[in-house]
Structure formats: structure tokens, C-alpha cells
Amino acid sequence: MTTDHIVAADREQAVTEEVLASFDATPDPRLREVMHSLVRHLHAFARDVRLSEREWETAIEFLTRAGHITDEHRQEFILLSDVLGLSMLTVAINEPSAPGATESTVFGPFFVDTAPEVPLGGDIARGASGIRCYVSGQVRSVTGEPIDGARIEVWEADQDGFYDVQYPDGRSAGRGWLRSGENGEYRFWSVLPAPYPIPHDGPVGDLLAATARGPMRPAHLHFMVTASGFRTLITHIFVAGDPYLGCDAVFGVKQDLVVEAIHHLDGPAPDGSHPETGWASIAFDLILATHDGR
């Protein structure tokens, strides 16, 4: 290494050390730890790729565009976290090590906390387009006890690949919440999940295009399950045979979450009804871990 290189390296390290020192008096020890690590890794990245000023400006412009396109219906920063795998890495870091518990996956950007309540066996589709689908299973602990009264939030895209919040008419469709029954059972009608692209008309889409990556997600149904004494479960179930299972744009697929959708030409359905057209059914149990990971 030449003298010039040594001087340049010392100058760069001096910048990092000065920034690190600026956080030394942070009262919260966890925040201090996080900021120190963030600065070290961020500065190391810039040195590693020899970041140019134009590249830095491009990155700022990219983040600015992500902020401008984000609103109450679209969260571009969650999309960015998802396509970089940071969302799934955070899930992996925080997932309980409880053998038998349903695996977690990404939350996604389309959850809303004002979904309507539906009765056990009710219909969350509420006009969403697609093949009618009967979803059922049991909520229980990893030791097999049924969990009654668990709150089960469900949301999905319609057959055209759009969530209700992506439509301009304020509809609420393809989402709802219900309580598990006294034996932990749950059941509801919806529509068969379909594959769809994540929003790719913004900066995240530009990033995917520039890196020759696709925007598609395999067909899936979102769940968030909460119950007293148990860790909140955020997961999907994926439809077996979907062509995008091996190239999910947000890396959310786990093999244990892939389930068969059974197609039926006519009734009767499990609830005794007789759908007029063909329908599908999916069975999947939701296994919760306790707060201490068991």
C-alpha cells in the first residue's frame, strides 16, 4: 500500500471515528449500540464499493422518490425492505425457536386495522373477484391444546392481483377478522388466492427492472393471529403448484407454508351449502408459540 493510500484510509477512518464518537453519549444503551453498528457498517459499505458522489446522489434521489410515493395506501419503504430481504431476515431473527409452531413470514404493505369482523364460517371476500374458496383449520398450541377465542386477521388479493386498498372506490373486500371457536376451530369463505406483482410502478420497481428481477409473488393468503399468552403469528399460506413459489419477489415462501388447494366441481361444501359454481377448499392449522418461545 502506498503512502497516498495509507493517508486516504486514515482520513476515511477518521470520519467514521468522529461520527461514532458523536453517539457515545446516547442515553439509551440499545439505541447507542444500534447507531454505532449502523455507522460502522454503512461507512464500511461506502468504502467497500468506493461510493462515488454521483452514486450517493442517486441513492438520495431514490429514497426521496420512495418517500414521495408513500401514502396511507402504499408503503414503498416496506416494499424496499421486502425486496432486499431485510423483512424476511428480521422475521428469521425474531422467530421463536418452538418446534412445531407455524412459521412466520413477511407482514407485507397491505394490512389495515379496520377490517370488518365476520362470524365463524362467514365470508371475507365481500365481493372480491375469484373462485370461491373455503378455508378451515384449528388454532392450537405447540403441545396440541386448542386455543379458543384467538383473533384471526385475514387479507388477500383478488383474482386480478389487487388488494382492496389498491382500488380508488374505498371498498373493503378480501379481508376480515374472526374468532376461533371453543375447540380452536376456524373457518371462512374467501376467494382462491392468485399470484400478483408487487407494485412496481415506482422506485422499487425501477430497482427490480435494473437488476433483472421480477415483481411477482406466488398466490397466498395472509394471516395474523393473536391470543392471550401467545406470541403474535404473522404468516401466509401459499398455494401448491404456483409457478412463482421459487422466485418470490420478497423471499417469503417457506415449504411448510405451501398447501394444496382442492378443487370441487359442485357441492355440498363443508358448511352444508351448495355453491352454484365450482369452488376450492384449503385446510391449514395455525400453531402458536408462547411468549417464552415454547
pLDDT value for 97: 74
Residue 1 is predicted with a pLDDT of 58
- What is the CATH classification number for the domain harbouring 259? 2.60.130.10
Whether residues 183 and 267 share a domain: the answer is yes
CA angle 123–125–128, rounded 5-degree value: 155
Q: Say yes or no: 33 and 152 in one domain.
A: no
Q: Does residue 85 lie in a domain region?
A: no
Residue 101: count other Cβ atoms within 10 Å of its Cβ.
Answer: 22
Whether 92 is covered by a domain: the verdict is no
Task: Tell me if 142 is assigned to some domain.
Answer: yes
- The answer to whether position 242 is within a domain reads yes
Distances in Å between the Cα of 216 and the Cα atoms of 8, 202, 209, 219, 229 are 44, 15, 12, 9, 36
Mean pLDDT by 10 residues, the chain (294 residues): 70 96 98 98 97 98 97 88 95 86 90 92 93 96 96 95 87 94 97 94 97 97 96 96 96 96 89 87 96 70
Judged on CB neighbours under 10 Å (0-12, 13-18, 19+), 97 is: exposed
Please give the Cα distance from 21 to 39 (Å, whole number): 10
According to the model, what pLDDT value does residue 8 have?
A: 77
Pair (47, 107) in one structural domain? no
pTM of the model: 0.87
Query: How deeply is 86 buried, as exposed, middle or buried, from its count of CB atoms within 10 A (0-12, 13-18, 19+)?
Result: middle
Residue after which a domain boundary falls, among 80, 105, 135:
80
Same structural domain for residues 14 and 141?
no
Maximum distance among all Cα pairs of the chain, rounded to whole angstroms: 83
- What was the pLDDT predicted at 7? 66
Number of domains present in the structure of the chain: 2
User: By C-alpha distance, which of 187, 239, 234 is closest to 218?
Assistant: 239
